[in-house]
Homo-oligomer: A and B are copies of this chain.
Amino acid sequence: MGTVIHAAEAATSETLLHPAREQLDLAAVLHALSDPMRLKIVAALAHAEEERTCGSFELPVVKSTCTHHFRVLREAGVIRQRLEGTTRMNSLRREDLDACFPGLVDAVLRAAHAAHQ
């Protein structure tokens, strides 16, 4: 008897920390958004109809850099990451962001879109 933690279980039950809506911090969110790669990720998630895996983004950076960007976004409360097996499924925390910072995500997405036209 007793508790046995298999390596596979430990990996899949990895704790992905997310700040609660009331913990979202403006400076931290702006910092998370202040990078071209992370802006691309956020814009893509804003237009996605469902969750997307990290690998589905065609970003011109190595995997570890990519993982870092997703972590910064998650820890600031910009995206939610959910494990499905060992795959991280990503979505934008649009409702939380709009509730805490009305108009901010809209303005950022509009500006990011305009910059790439």
**Chain A residues packing against B (C-beta within 8 Å):** 25-28, 30-31, 33-36, 39, 100-104, 106-108, 110-112, 115
Contact = CB atoms under 8 A, between A and B. Distances in A.
Contacts of A25: 115
For the residues of A in contact with B, the DSSP-based class is: helix
A27 B34 CA distance: 4
Nearest to A37: B27
A103 B106 CA distance: 8
Contact of A108 (B26, B31, B34, B100): B26
Nearest to A28: B34
Nearest to A97: B111
A36 B27 contact: yes
